[in-house]
Amino acid sequence: MSGHSKWSTIKRKKEKTDQQRAKVFTKIGRELAMVVKAGGTNVNENSKLKDAIAKAKAANVPNDNIERIIKKAAGETGGSNYEEIVYEGYGPNGVAVVVETLTDNRNRTAGDLRHYFDKCGGNLGQSGSVMFLFSRKGQIVIEAEGLDEETVMDAALEAGAEDFNFDGDVFEILTDPNELGTVRDALEEKGYRFLSAEVAYLPATMTAIDDADAAEKMEKLLDLLEDDDDVQGVWHNWEMPEEG
């Protein structure tokens, strides 16, 4: 098993303010509504809905909110039609960035993202410009405190995981993207709870930023992307300095 957890080297430690939490809830709500409209409300027939609900629960979205969003989406016949678009670009110092969006206006979204990259010393690229640097994987993250590494690893592999990483703080379990739900459900049945459980883009190599100004611009770029209502997920290969 790999000894290096990409999750811990990429994940930004940011305090979640009420405003940030509300934004996360809104984004997850949009994803829930889209998958309900596309595949219905039966989680046994709509695996994407099951995945979206698990993602919502990992983000601490209350069950009442989840049920309300699903009921509302099931009753809507019109409204906005969102499409999933993945954008690629480079930040300062050649850091590769993948941005997953749900948008009802691709021209607006592309224009906004191009502005963010330009403003922060990067550039929005063409499809395929950075994707070769990433692998698309199912990623389950479990807080390690109070758990035995070998026990969790055995449970993960038994459930069908492809890889297992441990960095002292979290267990990172990687799966085939199509097997994420199966592995997650098997671990959930054993009583495990997740910090996150989603399909992610994981970098094969990392890029450091030694210049303080460039690092500040990279932080700003990530903030702008994460704060955009159309952006559902951001992945990058910046090897962020450890917080002391």
Strand ranges inside the chain, DSSP E: 83-90, 96-103, 123-124, 134-143, 163-166, 170-175, 196-203, 231-236
Q: Are 86 and 128 in contact (CB under 8 A)?
A: no
Q: Which residues of 26-43 are buried (b: 16+ CB within 10 A; e: fewer)?
A: ebbbbbbbbbbbeeeeeb
* First and final C-alpha spacing in the chain: 28
The series of mean pLDDT values per 10 residues for the chain, 244 residues long, is 51 62 86 90 91 88 91 75 93 96 95 98 95 95 94 96 91 95 94 91 92 95 94 92 61
Tokens of 75: 């009753």
Residues whose CB falls within 8 Å of the CB of residue 62, separated by 6 or more in sequence, listed in order? none
Distance CA 16, CA 39 (A): 32
Distance CA 19, CA 16 (A): 8
The pLDDT value recorded for residue 2 is 43
Phi and psi for 103 in degrees, rounded to 5? -135, 150
The pLDDT value recorded for residue 76 is 72
What 3-state DSSP class applies to 238?
Answer: strand
CATH code of the domain occupying 1-11+83-244: 3.30.70.980
Where do the CATH 1.10.10.200 domains begin and end in the chain?
18-75
CATH code of the domain occupying 18-75: 1.10.10.200
Where do the CATH 3.30.70.980 domains begin and end in the chain?
1-11+83-244
Distance CA 95, CA 159 (A): 34
CA-nearest of 89, 95, 90 to 206 is 95
Phi and psi for 77 in degrees, rounded to 5? -105, -30
pLDDT digit string (tens) for 84-105? 999 999 999 999 999 999 999 9
Tokens of 47: 């695996």
Q: Which residues of 121-142 are buried (b: 16+ CB within 10 A; e: fewer)?
A: bbebbeeeebeebbeebbbbbb
